[in-house]
Amino acid sequence: MSETKVPLAAVLGHPIAHSKSPQLHGHWLRKYAIKGHYVPIDVAPEDLERVVQMLPTLGFVGVNVTIPHKEAVLQLADLVTERAKLIGAANTLVFRKDGKIHADNTDGYGFVQNLVQNAPKWNPKGGPALVFGAGGAARAVLASLIDIGVPEIRLTNRTPERAEQLRAEFGKTITVVDWVQAGNAMEDATTVVNTTSLGMVGKPEMRVPLDALKPGMVVSDLVYTPLQTKLLRAATDAGAMPVDGLGMLLHQAVPAFERWFGLRPEVDEELRAAVLR
Ligand code: NAP
C-alpha cells in the first residue's frame, strides 16, 4: 500500500466518546505495525447515510457502527449477512473495492468465542441455556446459541412481550419464562447469560435469586463495567465458571480487523490491559 493509501477505519455512533473500540483496534494496529488509523466519529442519525457514502472516498476500508445506528445501516448496505439479517442489526461495515457495502453482525460470534476461550470446558449442547433480557444484545446471543446447537433456550425478560416477540422470530428452541420464575429455570441450566443492563454502573443490581448456580454451569455477563458483577461473583462463589463481558467486546472485533487490515489479530491479556487502561 502506498503512503497516500493508509487504510482508515472508524466507529460511528452518537454519542461516541465512551467507545473502547479505538483503544482496541489501535492496540492491534501498533502490535502488528500496520500503517492504519482507527478513529471515533460522532454521527447524528440524519447524517448517517451521507457519511457512510462519503467515507470510502476518503480512504476508509470499513467501520464499526454502534448505538443508535446498528439497525439503520442495514438499509445502506448492498450485501447483508444472514446473521445480521436474523439479528436485525449490523455492527460492522466493509467498504469493498467494487464499491459495494457489506454489513455483518459479529456480536454473536464475539459472545461465543469469549466462552470458548475463557470456559474451555463449555459444552453448549449439554443442556438448556437461561438468557436474561430481550433487547439488541439478546438477539445476537440467541442467534449464536441456536447456531451452535444449544438444545433449549429459556428466555426471561422484565417485559414479557419482548421475549414473546423473540420466540416468534427465533423459533421453537426458545421458551419464555416468567421473570419471577427465572431462579427456578436456572436449576438444570448449563449456560446462564445476562444480556440486560442490570448490574452495570449506574443501573440497578440483578435481584433474581441466584442460589441455583452450581459447579459445571457456565455463567456469562455481557455487562463489563464493572468487570465483576453480582451475577459473576455469585457464580464464582457457587463454583460455576464465570465469564465477563469484556471478552465479547474484544472477540467481536476480530473478524472486522481481519477484513479491513488483512490480518487475523489475537485476543490476549495484553489486549485486555490496553482496553482497560
Ligand atoms: P437494550 O436493547 O436497551 O436492552 C436492555 C435490556 O435490559 C432489556 O431486556 C431490558 O428489559 C433490560 N432491562 C433494563 N433495565 C432493566 C431493569 N431495571 N430490570 C430488568 N430488566 C431491565 O440494550 P442492549 O443493547 O441489549 O444492551 C444490554 C447490555 O448488554 C448493556 O449493558 C450493554 O452494555 C451490554 N452489551 C455488551 C456487549 C459486549 O460486547 N460485552 C455487547 C452488547 C451489549 P425490558 O425489555 O423490560 O426493558
Q: Rounded to two decimals, what is the model's pTM?
A: 0.96
Could you say which of 20, 31, 70, 214 is catalytic? 70
Domains of the chain from N-terminus onward: 8-105+250-276 (3.40.50.10860), 108-244 (3.40.50.720)
Q: pLDDT tens, 19-35?
A: 999 999 999 999 999 99
Is residue 70 annotated as a catalytic residue, yes or no? yes
Please check the confidence at residue 150 and state whether its pLDDT lies above 70: yes
pLDDT band with cut points at 50, 70 and 90 for residue 36: very high
Q: Are 183 and 190 in contact (CB under 8 A)?
A: no
What is residue 198's predicted lDDT score, i.e. its pLDDT?
97
Is any atom of ligand 1 closer than 6 Å to the C-beta of 157? yes
Closest CA to 92 of 112, 75, 82, 107: 107
- Side by side, the strands of the sheet bearing 101-104 are 37-42, 8-13, 60-65, 92-95, 101-104, 79-80
264-277 per-position pLDDT tens digit? 999 999 999 999 98
pLDDT per position as a tens digit, 118-138: 999 999 999 999 999 999 999
Question: What was the pLDDT predicted at 5?
Answer: 81
The pLDDT assigned to 17 comes to 94
Instruction: Convert the pLDDT of each residue in 188-240 to its tens digit.
Output: 999 999 999 999 999 999 999 999 999 999 999 999 999 999 999 999 999 99
Distance 137 CA to ligand 1 centre (A): 7
Task: Tell whether the model's pLDDT for residue 2 goes beyond 90.
Answer: no
Residue 1, pLDDT > 50, answer: no
Pocket flag, ligand 1, residue 222 (CB < 6 Å): yes
Q: pLDDT value at position 129? A: 98
Mean pLDDT across the chain: 96
Ligand 1 proximity of 248 Cβ (cutoff 6 Å): yes
pLDDT tens digits for range 91-122: 999 999 999 999 999 999 999 999 999 999 99
User: Does the beta carbon of 204 sit less than 6 angstroms from any atom of ligand 1?
Assistant: yes
Q: Specify the 3-state DSSP secondary structure of 2.
A: coil
Which ligand 1 atom is the nearest neighbour of the CA of 132? 9
Supply the pLDDT for residue 89.
Answer: 96
According to DSSP, the β-strands at 60-65 and 92-95 are antiparallel
Task: Report whether pLDDT(49) > 60.
Answer: yes
Asked if residue 165 lies in contact with residue 157, where contact means CB atoms within 8 angstroms, the answer is: no
Q: Is the CB of 199 under 6 A from ligand 1?
A: no
**Concatenated DSSP letters of 139-182:** HHHHHHHHHHT-S-EEEE-SSHHHHHHHHHHH-TTEEE--GGGH
Pocket residue to mutate for ligand 1, from 193, 196, 275, most atoms within 8 A of Cβ? 196
- Measured in Å, residue 200 CA sits from the centre of ligand 1 at 9
**Close Cβ partners of 127 (under 8 Å, ≥ 6 residues apart):** 151, 152, 188, 189, 190, 191
Is residue 171 left, alpha or beta, with left meaning phi > 0 and alpha meaning psi from -120 to 50?
left
Q: What is the percent of the chain where pLDDT is above 70?
A: 99
HSE of 199, CA atoms in CB hemisphere, 13 A: 26
